[in-house]
């Protein structure tokens, strides 16, 4: 059974800092990995999708990497802003389509 772990559970940084969120998974036989953002009381917004054959994906100030063999992914946020404050969820897709989620990292960027 796939287990997804996210570290740290919570993070507080001053505005402008670069930061890294970590995700690890136990079963490396994945189809893809997806990073989501969730604002309080809201649904999930997809940030980046990395296929199993890819090493990284970039969108604006976000960069996600994938090391399938070691079961790890990182989400790098450059020049953080208060608007980046949210919970970030990592999810992996194995066979059968369903996503397995970590518990998320709660990020607070202070002005």
Partner 1 sequence: EAGVAQSPRYKIIEKRQSVAFWCNPISGHATLYWYQQILGQGPKLLIQFQNNGVVDDSQLPKDRFSAERLKGVDSTLKIQPAKLEDSAVYLCASSSPDRNYGYTFGSGTRLTVV
Give me the residues that bind partner 1 (CB under 8 A), please: 4, 31-32, 34, 36, 41-46, 49, 51, 89, 91, 93, 95-99, 101-104
Considering beta carbons, is residue 17 or 42 the nearer one to partner 1? Answer: 42
Q: What is the nearest approach in angstroms of partner 1 to the Cβ of residue 35?
A: 10
Angle at alpha carbon of residue 96, lines to 74 and 6, rounded to 5°: 25
Considering beta carbons, is residue 10 or 78 the nearer one to partner 1? Answer: 10
Which of these, 15, 13, 52, lies nearest to 32 by C-alpha position? 52
| Dihedral sign from CA coordinates of 22, 84, 37, 10 | positive
Considering beta carbons, is residue 34 or 73 the nearer one to partner 1? Answer: 34
Q: What is the nearest approach in angstroms of partner 1 to the Cβ of residue 15?
A: 26
Considering beta carbons, is residue 30 or 77 the nearer one to partner 1? Answer: 30
Q: What is the nearest approach in angstroms of partner 1 to the Cβ of residue 65?
A: 17
Q: What is the nearest approach in angstroms of partner 1 to the Cβ of residue 8?
A: 14
- Residue by residue, what is the 3-state secondary structure of 19-77? EEEEEEECCCCCCEEEEEEECCCCCEEEEEEEECCCCEEEECCEEEEEECCCCEEEEEE
């Amino acid at each position: 059974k796939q287990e997804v772990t996210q570290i740290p559970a919570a993070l507080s940084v001053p505005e402008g800092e670069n930061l890294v969120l970590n995700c690890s998974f136990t079963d490396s036989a994945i189809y893809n990995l997806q990073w989501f953002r969730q604002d309080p009381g809201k649904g999930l917004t997809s940030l980046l999708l990395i296929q199993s054959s890819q090493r990284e994906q970039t969108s604006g100030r976000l960069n996600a990497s994938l090391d399938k063999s070691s079961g790890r992914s990182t989400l790098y946020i450059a020049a953080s802003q208060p608007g980046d404050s949210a919970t970030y969820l990592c999810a992996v897709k194995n066979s059968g389509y369903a996503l397995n989620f970590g518990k998320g990292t709660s990020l607070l960027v202070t002005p």
